[in-house]
């Protein structure tokens, strides 16, 4: 089977195990994210959601198991790994923008350095992406001059500038003031609508209900439920999911 086989999931995790010392943080994790779909990961704090996300682009090495992106196993290191990382965009809770670069520079840096895109081309694409996330008018400012919501939208534009095949979001709205959450979720919903494959860790249940094709519920390092949002929110099967929902809804 070739990598571009349409039936291949974009992300496949098989029997993934991960320990931090004595702590067993990923326990026999099996997860597939089909191309063009949005999978939302829910679960209590400390359940392994961030570790799972970070394992997907090998920011966190795993102990055993298989992770494939677009049908290809995750390379361990070197050029292959750099290439893979370029295909997997990641947006974190903290915006991680370069403080001493303008918003546009933040967005053009990696395409020029990693992809060898020309400055002119990177600028053009960068401005289009900033337009798309609604902050083109902020392109010459520095991160600290923007609101949290604008910074997070810039971080999304920066990830998109590498033309990723898949986007990982790890609690992208958790550090934001409440009034800025929706503008970031709107950008994410737009991306989903355009067919981007997305793995999203979030506590935003409205987004999970509306945008997710599937909800994966994690507890204590295990995937406890993997189902459609309707079913998860109305009839969760496990006591742990019912308990979780009872606390947040
Ligand atoms: P979540 O994102 O669901 O809150 P994490 O994946 O961040 O959970 O963490 C899962 C568990 O692993 C937690 O108990 C956390 O304290 C622990 N952990 C996370 N990163 C590390 C690390 N680098 N070293 C040791 N323990 C860690
Ligand atoms: Mg986390």
Q: How far, in Å, CA of 236 to CA of 104, rounded? A: 44
Picking from 84, 149, 86, the residue whose alpha carbon sits closest to that of residue 114 is 86
Q: How far, in Å, CA of 94 to CA of 170, rounded? A: 9
Alpha carbon of 246 to those of 210, 230, 243: distances in Å? 20, 16, 5
Return the ligand 1 atom nearest residue 48 CA: 6
* Cα 169 to ligand 2 centroid, rounded to whole Å: 10
- Using DSSP bridges, classify how beta strands 88-91 and 166-170 pair: parallel, antiparallel or unpaired: parallel
- 190: Cβ below 6 Å to ligand 1? no
The answer to whether residue 4 scores a pLDDT higher than 70 is no
Determine the average pLDDT of the residues in 104-113.
95
- State pLDDT tens for residues 193-207: 999 999 999 999 999
Longest dimension (CA), the chain: 55
User: What integer pLDDT is reported at residue 80 of this predicted model?
Assistant: 79
User: What integer pLDDT is reported at residue 115 of this predicted model?
Assistant: 86
So what's the ipTM on this one?
0.98
Q: How far, in Å, CA of 113 to CA of 165, rounded? A: 19
Nearest residue (by CA) to ligand 1, atom 14, is 46
Regarding predicted confidence, which is higher, 2 or 128? 128
- State pLDDT tens for residues 20-49: 999 999 999 999 999 999 999 999 999 999
User: What integer pLDDT is reported at residue 165 of this predicted model?
Assistant: 95
* Cα 49 to ligand 1 centroid, rounded to whole Å: 8
User: What integer pLDDT is reported at residue 95 of this predicted model?
Assistant: 79
- State pLDDT tens for residues 52-103: 999 998 899 999 999 999 998 887 777 778 878 888 999 999 878 999 999 9
Nearest residue (by CA) to ligand 1, atom 11, is 46
Determine the average pLDDT of the residues in 95-115.
94
User: What integer pLDDT is reported at residue 6 of this predicted model?
Assistant: 60
Determine the average pLDDT of the residues in 176-199.
96
Q: How confident is the model at residue 183 (pLDDT cuts 50, 70, 90)?
A: very high
The two structure tokens encoding residue 157: 């534009």
* Cα 166 to ligand 1 centroid, rounded to whole Å: 23
**Strand order, beta sheet including 214-219:** 88-91, 166-170, 197-201, 38-42, 214-219, 222-227
Mutational test site, ligand 1, from 45, 50, 175, max ligand atoms within 8 Å of CB: 50
Place of tokens 């496949």: 12
Cα radius of gyration (the chain) = 18
Place of tokens 């935003």: 204
Determine the average pLDDT of the residues in 132-146.
97
- 172: Cβ below 6 Å to ligand 1? no
The answer to whether residue 148 scores a pLDDT higher than 60 is yes
Q: How confident is the model at residue 1 (pLDDT cuts 50, 70, 90)?
A: very low
User: What integer pLDDT is reported at residue 5 of this predicted model?
Assistant: 57
What mean pLDDT, rounded, does the chain reach? 94
**Ligand with smallest separation from the Cα of 170:** 2
Give this prediction's pTM: 0.94
Three-state secondary structure string covering the chain: CCCCCCCCCCEEEEEEEEEECCEEEEEEEEEEECCCCEEEEECCCCCCHHHHHHHHCCCCCCCEEEEEECCEECCCCHHHHHHHHHHEEEECCCCCCCCCCCHHHHHHHHHHHHHCCCHHHHHHHHHHHHHHCCCHHHCCCCHHHCCHHHHHHHHHHHHHCCCCCEEEEECCCCCCCHHHHHHHHHHHHHHHHCCCEEEEECCCHHHHHHHCCEEEEEECCEEEEEECHHHHHHCCCCHHHHHHHHHHC
């Amino acid at each position: 089977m070739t990598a571009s086989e349409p039936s291949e999931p974009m992300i496949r995790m098989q029997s993934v195990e991960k320990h931090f010392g004595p702590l067993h943080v990923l326990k026999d994790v099996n997860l597939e994210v089909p191309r063009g779909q949005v999978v939302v990961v829910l679960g209590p704090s400390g359940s392994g959601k961030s570790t799972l996300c970070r394992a997907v682009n090998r920011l966190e090495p795993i102990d055993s198991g298989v992770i494939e992106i677009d049908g290809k196993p995750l390379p361990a290191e070197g050029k292959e790994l750099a290439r893979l990382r370029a295909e997997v965009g990641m947006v974190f809770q903290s915006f991680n923008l370069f403080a001493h670069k303008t918003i546009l520079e933040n967005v053009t840096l990696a395409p020029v350095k990693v992809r060898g895109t020309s400055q002119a081309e990177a600028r053009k694409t960068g401005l289009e992406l900033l337009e798309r996330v609604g902050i083109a008018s902020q392109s010459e400012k520095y991160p600290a001059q923007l609101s949290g919501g604008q910074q997070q939208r810039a971080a999304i534009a920066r990830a998109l500038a590498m033309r990723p095949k898949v986007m990982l979001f790890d609690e992208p709205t958790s550090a934001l003031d409440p009034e800025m959450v929706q503008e970031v979720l709107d950008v994410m919903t737009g991306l989903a609508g355009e067919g981007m494959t997305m793995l999203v860790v979030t506590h935003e249940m409205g987004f999970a209900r509306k945008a997710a094709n599937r909800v994966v519920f994690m507890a204590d390092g295990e995937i406890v439920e993997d189902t459609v949002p309707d079913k998860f929110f109305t009839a969760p099967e496990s006591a742990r999911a019912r308990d979780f929902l009872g606390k947040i809804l």
